[in-house]
Amino acid sequence: MNGFFIVGTDTHVGKTWVAAGLLRAYAALGLRVIGMKPVAAGAVLQDGVWVNEDVALLTAASTVRAPAASINPYLFREAIAPHLAAMHKGVRIEIPRIRAACESLMADADVVVVEGVGGLLVPLSARQDAADLAVALALPLILVVGMRLGCLSHALLTTEVIAVRGLKLAGWVANRIDPEMHAYEENLDALASRIPAPLLASVPFLPACDTERMAATFVPRRLVGLLG
């Protein structure tokens, strides 16, 4: 094992920022790192090339270079659910193709950080979802909890799905996406007592992307311990 699968309690909870911060934190320990976004929905045309913001952020935080087709096997222009974006484009998201790309990245890096899409049960096709992809990649999961009203149920439902699917939860990150959230510490304690994995970082509200500051929230010895 030389990687992690980053899953969120929902979309827009900071998965990409956490993944990029994790990459920078491991790079600071002298490890060769690369980020992967198997499925990305939403792209803009830049200099004749379709670019997804999340993929670009992960690439910038990586120290290992790889072909774009390996880093991001499926890129869709529409910012909609991936199975719908694939249907509109007339393609099918194939998990074996993603797994082959991930394995190629693992051959060249010490740590591969794979960012999922949306929540854990987001459909990828008529019969498969993001949890099926996590099972196929067989990587430990890191759960990003978007700390806001309603996060308790979202987080605990996700941890139940992780257990039901036989996945390993390596740890979780509390990402404060709502600076006005009431009883933040009490909510944090409620999750810490119920999620069966260590809290890896409690990230303060960040009004803009700052992967260096995100990386600084991780304790180096904990990161080393995750690698076994």
The residue whose two tokens read 């890129």 is 75
Question: Which residues face 119 on adjacent strands?
Answer: 8
In angstroms, rounded to a whole number, what is the distance separating the alpha carbons of residues 14 and 19?
8
Cα separations in angstroms, 114 against 100, 126, 134: 13, 23, 9
Contact 181, 148 (CB under 8 A): yes
Sequence-ordered list of residues with C-beta below 8 angstroms from that of 180, at least 6 positions apart, any chain: none
Burial class of residue 227 in the structure, from the number of CB atoms within 10 Å of its CB (0-12 exposed, 13-18 middle, 19+ buried): middle
Residues with a known catalytic role: 37
In angstroms, rounded to a whole number, what is the distance separating the alpha carbons of residues 102 and 19?
15
The residue whose two tokens read 């979309």 is 11
Pairing of strands 141-146, 3-8: parallel
In angstroms, rounded to a whole number, what is the distance separating the alpha carbons of residues 80 and 78?
6
Q: How many CB atoms lie within 10 A of CB 17?
A: 24
